[in-house]
Structure 1
Amino acid sequence: MAIDSSVSPLPDANSRGVRAALVFALTAERLAAYYEHGQWLTEAQGATLAAEWLGRTKRSLPLAERRHLSALSDVLARQVAGALSREAGLYTVHAMQDALDPNHTSDTAQALMAECERLLDAVEEGASTP
């Protein structure tokens, strides 16, 4: 039986791309909860969601890292909510949730994913600065 070399293994959970995707997905989840129920998810709730999502692909991150990513998503979600009207916020949440499907793209989601990457990079640069 031949091995299909076109199928690549999943990236490690600690890779930059996976971490940015988690921040993105958690941000979408936080904004949805905020706009639908008027409540923000806690850091612990975000960390639990991240663990559940990672578990679906048999990957994991330590609790401290999941809480860190959850906190970053909280910062971004509150920035987005503070900058947008309710209608624009609902549109943004919809675009983000649609973008969780790899077959769907939008300029809004791509811009927010880039912001997630910038946020991660800024935190990592700050952590490596003496």
Structure 2
Amino acid sequence: MTWEKAASPSMTERGMRIALIFALAAERLTAFYEYGQWLTEAQGASLAADWLSRSKNKMPLAERRQLSALSDQLARQIETSLSREAGMYTAHEMMESLDPNHHSEIAESLMVECERLLDDNLAG
């Protein structure tokens, strides 16, 4: 699994949070389609901590859990709105898009959704 896109040195705090939601949603969908189980909020927060430590960043547990919950919300929205095949394709595209050299219109539109989720959560 690659997280370089989210770990670029010029990334803002906000951008890092959006990228975390996206990457965690990709992981959640992949786990769901491969194993038939959803990651827990704690598992998502743990994945976020691992990624953050690799990029030499830190975030309080409460915030990691909040982003984990937002990624869960997005992943479940995707899963319920798409057929199994389309969901599997979307999960694959999201995982591929974690590589900074991969361009995907699907991933770009989902990043916009991650941004909206973050903004809505901060406003509420």
TM-score by length of 2: 0.91
SS in 1 for 2:47: helix
Aligned equivalent of 1:62? 60
CA RMSD of aligned residues (A): 1.2
Aligned equivalent of 2:18? 20
Calculate percent identity across the aligned residue pairs: 66
Aligned equivalent of 1:49? 47
Larger Rg: 1
Listed as ranges, the gaps of 5+ residues in structure 2 are 1-7
Q: How far apart, in 1, do the equivalents of 2:34 and 2:120 lie?
A: 30
Aligned equivalent of 1:116? 114
Listed as ranges, the gaps of 5+ residues in structure 1 are 1-7
Q: How does 1:58-97 map to 2 (within 5 A)?
A: 58-97=56-95
Q: How far apart, in 2, do the equivalents of 1:105 and 1:18 lie?
A: 19
List structure 1 segments (4+ residues) > 4 angstroms apart after TM superposition. none
Q: How far apart, in 2, do the equivalents of 1:106 and 1:41 lie?
A: 24
TM-score by length of 1: 0.87
Q: How far apart, in 2, do the equivalents of 1:9 and 1:91 lie?
A: 30
Q: How far apart, in 1, do the equivalents of 2:10 and 2:55 lie?
A: 8
* Number of residue pairs the alignment of both structures matches: 117
Aligned equivalent of 2:11? 11
Offset from partner CA, 1:46-90 (integer Å, 9 cap, x none): 000000001001111000000000000000100000001110011
Q: How far apart, in 1, do the equivalents of 2:43 and 2:36 lie?
A: 16
The amino acid of 1:11's aligned partner reads: M
Q: How far apart, in 1, do the equivalents of 2:9 and 2:97 lie?
A: 22
SS in 2 for 1:26: helix
Offset from partner CA, 1:79-120 (integer Å, 9 cap, x none): 000001110011001110111011111110000000000000
Aligned equivalent of 1:4? none
Q: How far apart, in 2, do the equivalents of 1:109 and 1:71 lie?
A: 19
Relative to total residues, which structure has the larger helix share, 1 or 2? 2
Q: How far apart, in 2, do the equivalents of 1:84 and 1:102 lie?
A: 26
